[in-house]
Structure formats: C-alpha cells, structure tokens
Amino acid sequence: MQYKNVLTTCPYCGVGCGVNLQVLDGQVVGSLPSRTHPVSQGGLCIKGWNAHAFVHHEDRLKTPLIREGDEFREASWDEALALVAEKLGGVKAEHGPDAIGVLSSAKCTNEENYVLQKFSRAVIGTNNVDHCARL
C-alpha cells in the first residue's frame, strides 16, 4: 500500500482554502485541512472536508456531451468548444452581445471568475455576468 497527502486548493468556493487530499494506492480517499495554509489556517468547512467525494463518483462526467435531438453523444473537447463558439457567435450576430449572459460558479477561484468576466466583456461584449458566490 502506498499512502500520500497531496496539497491542493479546495474546489468548492473562491476562498482558496488549502486541503490535503489523502491518496491511497492512486485513489483519492479523504480530505484533511492544511495546518500551515495561510488562508484556511488548519480549518475547513463541511464542503472542504468532503472535497474528495466527487473525484471517483460514478455519475461524474469525464467527456463533453453534445445533444442531438433527445439524446446525448460523447464528443471531443475540440468539437464541443467549436460548437459552443459557433452557437455563441450566432446569437451575438443575430441578437447582439447583450442577448448573452454568462454565469460562473463559486467553485471557481477569484482569478478564474475574473478571467471569465474579462472574456465576457472583452470578447463577447456583454456586461451580463453573474456568479453564485454571493451566498
């Protein structure tokens, strides 16, 4: 058996708490707070304590899905991103950039949310940006 702790950032909000993922034989099996992390200072919320639970969950999506009628099919990342760009470009061309709204997640870091709002404003041209981190 091989056991190790892997220091990472908790994925559940933008605070950036330090969490040690417990890895046993290549499988993530638990979460512990990092005692020396400057943000969390040895503490975690209930979500942080369970930050490992989704990693090997049977319902976790591992590849993009594209809807075709009432069905979904697996696609490559390149195909999925090209389809998103095409659809967003079509909406922007037909209805203008303010017809597009962008929602982000509290699971993103502050830096990731910043990049998303910059992309929304500079590339898409919309100020319709929100996120669920206002809890």
Q: Is residue 133 very low, low, confident or very high in pLDDT (cuts 50, 70, 90)?
A: low
Provide, rounded to the nearest whole percent, the portion of the chain with pLDDT above 90.
Answer: 68
| For residues 48-58, average pLDDT | 88
Note the pTM of the prediction, 2 decimals.
0.67
Domain boundaries, the chain: 3-49, 61-95, 96-135
Q: Is the pLDDT of residue 135 over 70?
A: no
Question: Domain 3-49 class?
Answer: mainly beta
Q: Please report the DSSP string for 4-62 in residue order.
A: EEEEEE-SSSSS--EEEEEEETTEEEEEEE-TT-TTTTT---HHHHTTTTTTT-TT---
Q: Is residue 134 very low, low, confident or very high in pLDDT (cuts 50, 70, 90)?
A: low
| For residues 65-81, average pLDDT | 97
